[in-house]
Amino acid sequence: MDFLVLFLFYLALVLMGVVTICICSKTHYLRGLVRGGAQVISCIIPECLQRAMRKVLHYLFHTRNHTFIMLHLLLQGMVYAEYTWEVFGYCQELGFSLHYLLLPYLLLVINLVFFTLSCVSNPGTITKANEFSLLQVYEFDEVMFPKNTKCFTCNVRKPARSKHCRVCNRCVHRFDHHCVWVNNCIGAWNARYFLIYLLTLTASAATMAVVSTVFLVQLVVVSDLYLETYVDDLGHLQVIDIVFLIQYLFLTLPRIVFTLGFVVMLSFLLGGYLCFTLYLAATNQTTNEWYRGDRAWCHHCPHVARPPSAEPQVYRNIHSHGLWSNLGEIFLPAAAHCAEKMN
């Protein structure tokens, strides 16, 4: 009972934390909470340790490195090793369909292909050679993306929907976000690879969770475990319930049950993020635009000079042209191919 309660509590805590961050990320509450937490921690942790932590965090999240790529491949390899070593063999003994068992491997191959493409492909780097053509792709809304703005770091004019990535030190066309897991920016030219990578990663986690769950249920049914009884702490004979059954399976097959818990949690997290990404694709928004979209842009905006009497302007998405057109822009970026030829 203790294990199950702790695991469910941990799972609920992680999911609630992710949801809270998503809700608060567009407000000032999260920044205030982070600042307050940092001040409390600074009073407890020695200065030398704080400097070391800042250096590590700066290296991990503010410089291009392969740490998260290696972590990604390590976790993926460990999960598939456990699936191959135990679940696959046991399922074959129970007469599972081979096509059903091989589906996670098919998804793995597709996932690794698009993971590699997301890592190495050009996200849409803006250069002097393609600057003019990219300026014609999207309309300037004069709110979030005003005309005639220039990136002084890259020394190029900024097309609408572009952004300078401080990690990669380049301006990216239709900038979405910088992803540490692929060590690359996600932009106009590799968003399709990233979306398929995320889709296959979610599908592979969900498939392995389903296969493992069906195996455990089949094992319980075949062995008639659900008909067994046990003696409780008071010496009374009790019929096995679901809580006791899960604990028994964890003690008997700990690696399989632990892996199942991990992929179930991963399926929820990845599934939520995939739904969010699909929503952005369907409405022709980027993560950068979504994050900044609800803010009022007024005469205090440093990029636009407005008279003191000017009323605040709120950003509105002017780039959505229907579901199929929006998805076509992700998967068939015609402007990207033209710009690549000019590059």
Whether 52 is in a domain gets the answer yes
159: three-class secondary structure by DSSP? coil
Beta bridge pairs of residue 161: none
- Among candidate residues 154, 179, 185, 338, the one labeled active-site is 179
| Shared-domain flag, residues 77 and 46 | no
Whether 35 is in a domain gets the answer yes
List the single range of 208-212, 225-229, 272-276, 336-340 with lowest mean pLDDT. 336-340
Query: What DSSP state is assigned to residue 66?
Result: S
**What is this structure's pTM?**
0.84
The pLDDT assigned to 191 comes to 96
CA distance linking residue 304 with residue 117, whole number of Å:
37
| Shared-domain flag, residues 77 and 145 | no
| Shared-domain flag, residues 263 and 162 | no
SS3 content of the chain, % helix, strand, coil (to 5): 60, 10, 30
Phi, psi torsion values for 230, nearest 5 degrees: -145, 165
- Per the structure, the count of domains in the chain is 3
CA distance linking residue 334 with residue 315, whole number of Å:
26
Residue 179 falls in the annotated catalytic set = yes
Q: Decide which of 243 and 126 is more confident.
A: 126
CA distance linking residue 73 with residue 67, whole number of Å:
10
The pLDDT assigned to 343 comes to 45
Q: Decide which of 69 and 36 is more confident.
A: 69
Phi-psi category of residue 58: left, alpha or beta, with phi > 0 → left and psi -120 to 50 → alpha: alpha
Examine the pLDDT at 201 and tell me if it is beyond 80.
Answer: yes
| Shared-domain flag, residues 260 and 328 | yes
| Shared-domain flag, residues 82 and 220 | yes
Whether 181 is in a domain gets the answer no
Give 19's pLDDT tier (boundaries 50, 70, 90): low
Whether 7 is in a domain gets the answer no
Q: Which of 163, 138, 144, 151 lies closest to 284, judged by CA?
A: 138
Range of the domain at 33: 17-62
Give 314's pLDDT tier (boundaries 50, 70, 90): low
- The Cα diameter of the chain in Å comes to 82
CA distance linking residue 289 with residue 188, whole number of Å:
14
Whether 42 is in a domain gets the answer yes
Whether 178 is in a domain gets the answer no
